[in-house]
Structure 1
Amino acid sequence: MTWVPGVDAGHPYGLHNLPYGAVSYRDSPRLVVRIGDLGLDLAAACARLAPDLAPLVSGPVLNPLLAAPAATWRRLRAAVTEWLTDESVRPVVEPLLEPIGQTHLPFEVGDYVDFYASEHHASAIGRILRPDSPSLPEAWKHLPIGYHGRSGTVVVSGTPIVRPHGQRRVGGEIEVGPSLRLDIEAEVGFVLGAGTRLGEPVALADAAEHVFGVCLVNDWSARDLQAWEYVPLGPFLGKSFATSVSPWVVPLDAFDSARTAPPPRDVPLVSYLDDAALPPWGLDIALEIELNGAVISRPPFPAMYWTAAQMLAHLTVNGASIRPGDLFASGTVSGPEPDQAGSLMELSQIGRKPLELPGGVTRSFLEDGDEVVIRGRVPATPGRPELALGEVTGVVVASLQ
């Protein structure tokens, strides 16, 4: 039990969680570890209790800590846990706990990769767009399909989302203007730490030495821009205008009791993706999507076909290097049921069945002023308290063009 008032063993931001974030403190971002609704000033705490770790957490972003070996991440997590439970250091630590204010992007994003790891999502999109062809691409069950996104437009939760502008085909005409089919993609993101050399792949068994933590992602998508541009090279302007991430990075170690087996694979996997003999990398995360205050979907992350370890192994198998602060995301999380889809394109069947919201309002895609909130948690089970991942939010504002 922690000595922090109001934080019992079942608190979703209790000792089993301890996520990292960056919050405003005297007008500048400071790194904190969250406990309950308070943030522990890491730079000040380490300066007093672990001076050799202080340089890793004294800046506004996590990247120096991310660059350290995984053993250092675990040492800091163990130290913070001790400080928040040991009454003898309470007089030192308690004054360093502050209410959480404005949050900032907690890490400087290096490269960003988005995957397409949900069979339910990929199949649903295939049926919508290619009703007379196989719903999954031929390679889909042989490797985790992904694309390289734009790191410069990864923004923290709460950042307004400007409606993107670009080319789209309407009937037989090509138009230029604001997207008419602005969509969401509810995803789970993975923040990378220890880097690799060019030519050095990451094996499945070594993934935990490189994955620092987990966050929530909304990879906003302009479906009309995307549909016109994506052949033959894939997503570009339809995806690159904004990707929102939650302000809290939950350490991977916090998910030790939330590991689940991925769905059965019905296609044999090549050796570098074969995880049959390894501990499971599925995660028992439940998502919830809210549009203008109404819950419209509850996507289940355990249904994802490809795991984070497999995504990382595939990302690097060609020799691509990774750097501290790199981010990769799962792709849209969707389940087998209609109310478990992670995008409006699925939920509204690309506009054929508009969603009905309270007050007689309907939506096929997002309109200006709409607010989207994606929440994530590891549900409580006997012997396991709920673990919160926070939320990622965004309000759509009109195009600037």
Structure 2
Amino acid sequence: MTAAQQATTEKPEPYVIRTDEREERYARGWYVIGHANSVGHTPRALNVFGTRLVAYRGKEDGEVHILDAYCPHMGGDLCGGEVRDNSVLCPFHLWSWGADGVCDDIPYARKIPDKAVIKSWPVLEKNGLVFVWQDPEGNPPIAEQEPATLDDWYAEDWTDWEMEAIPIQSLGRELVDNMADMAHFGPIHYSSVKSFRNTMEGHKFVQYMVGGHEILTEGDEGLITSVATYEGPAYMTTTMTGLMDGHPMKVHLLVSHIPTDMSEFVINFGVMMRKDPGLSETQNKAMVEEYMEKNIESFHQDVAVWNNKCIIDNPLLCDGDGPINLVRKWYSQFMTNVNDIQPNQVKAREHVTMEGPSVAEALAKMGF
């Protein structure tokens, strides 16, 4: 064997997985903390963004407020306190903190210290959900990035959200990768993909998919269409249509994550469904609960992978993979200071991974 022949038959060097070092930094955007009814007049603890916050609903204004949880006086945890008017009281010495984070009463002091201010976090209540705004630069919310109104949540012919919180031992970016990862739908979600397309522009990234599903549709009940939309780095809603037990089905899924710290995030997973007018309220509730159970069963296949996979910053991709690096480029805008964002992080793009029937064509075929 000549040296040239030997060179062509030699096995290449093993691929080296790269995991980059990361500073503690959390993506800029709106994050769901739960259903609107998950925050009341009893302080609720939020262990998020590597710190601890307190959420409560004011007794006077009825609005949700979120503050840093630790009292700067002697470190008391406001989550163990009580709500009075629109303020929350520290259980340690009863210092009172207003919704704006300014101390408004110390029962035994003649003068409140000028520095008695804690961080008040921007809050949004919309679509039956409570959002908190996170920005590593401390900037206020960006108006055009407010989540769009989900009209169906306000309509009487739709159910409310059924929700569950699921902790994951990984980076939130790993969840966002799913927007481009067409190849995982078969082995993980038992889905047969007929068409798969991604678009991005500004703070939005959309996945269009047509396929079938072994769990969500029993037997051969035709196609399922899925339109999944990220509005920012963490708030994703998906509209799915198809048939379930012979009934036309249209549902919205919520898959919104919020980081606990740099090694864990929590997914706020939700399902709401258009009611079947031929069923009672009880039957419709049972149907959405059944669909939620099936989705959770499917979704936990992902969870098992995320909890055990490593972080790869240089994924070895093949020609059948979706645009993983494209979605990561889009996601990187939320980890970049606003003034440093580059055009290629937010420019309009489209990527077709698999040609096939469009969502509109599939909906027409199913009679929607």
Same fold (TM over 0.5): no
Q: Structure 2-normalised TM-score?
A: 0.26
Q: Structure 1-normalised TM-score?
A: 0.25
Bigger radius of gyration among the two: 2
Flag the structure with higher strand content.
2
